Amino acid sequence: MTASNEPSAHPSGNASSEGPSVPIHLRPARDGDVPALVPLLLRLKRLNEEFDPLLKVREDADEQARHLLHANLADPKAVVLAAEGVGADKDKVVGVVRAIVRERPFYVPEFEGVILDIYLLPLYRRRGVGEYLLREVSAALKAKGAGVVTAEFPSQNEIASRFYQKRGFRPITAIHARSL
Ligand SMILES: CC(C)(COP(=O)(O)OP(=O)(O)OC[C@H]1O[C@@H](n2cnc3c(N)ncnc32)[C@H](O)[C@@H]1OP(=O)(O)O)[C@@H](O)C(=O)NCCC(=O)NCCS
């Protein structure tokens, strides 16, 4: 999977309707990527912590992320895609999307593809790469039987909220919390 038909050496330029102007190479993640994926997931969780104190990151979060990623990579219901950079970032993982197909016992479509995490290093943002990741992960989830795609993210995460809203997502359920 290549994000652009016209790769450029520098991560610059404006987004076009044909794809992201920052070329990335998107591919299924493998076990060898886990050390590179863990810091990306942790960056995302720490960002979420900034949005909400009830999302305080655990001290052993990196170990948890490692276990979770290995489990996902062995799970046929999960999709983990790694985005590799270009130019100086060639062969470097600059983004990740993690999703899972989950059964909906009471509703149709019976299976939903849930996007659990999506993260891009700042240099790669706002150039359509996220949209490309979303398109590709949606296709992978559909291929695994999902009839609807959902995204889980903190309510206070404005970036995620706007990103998904712009792509036609709307809230259908909400998780409300209070400390005990
Ligand atoms: C969410 C993310 C993957 C989107 O990737 P992207 O390449 O920036 O997205 P695109 O270029 O395809 O789309 C950009 C749109 O996303 C939204 N967006 C992205 N960054 C934003 C920001 N800092 N503030 C507000 N909206 C933002 C906007 O709707 C934006 O459209 P606009 O540029 O016309 O305003 C990326 O911004 C990211 O990694 N953010 C930090 C992690 C995160 O919050 N992940 C989601 C929670 S799981």
Residue 119 Cα, ligand 1 centroid: separation in angstroms?
9
- CATH code, domain with 150: 3.40.630.30
Quick one: what percent of the chain has pLDDT higher than 70?
Answer: 88
Q: Is residue 46 within 6 Å of ligand 1 at its C-beta? A: no
Residue nearest to atom 24 of ligand 1 (CA): 159
Residue 4 lies in a domain: no
Would you say the CB of residue 162 lies under 6 angstroms from ligand 1? yes
Determine the pLDDT at residue 17. Answer: 46
Q: SS3 for 27? A: strand
- The parent domain of residue 32 ranges over 25-166
Position 177 in a domain = no
Number of structural domains (the chain) is 1
Is 110 contained in some domain?
A: yes
Encode pLDDT of 125-146 as tens digits.
Answer: 999 999 999 999 999 999 999 9
Residue 7 forms part of a structural domain: no
Residue located nearest, by CA, to atom 41 of ligand 1 = 119
75 or 3, which is more confident: 75
Residue nearest to atom 42 of ligand 1 (CA): 119
3 occurs within a structural domain: no
pLDDT given for residue 21 in this prediction: 65
Lowest-confidence region among 46-50, 87-91, 92-96:
87-91
- pTM equals 0.90
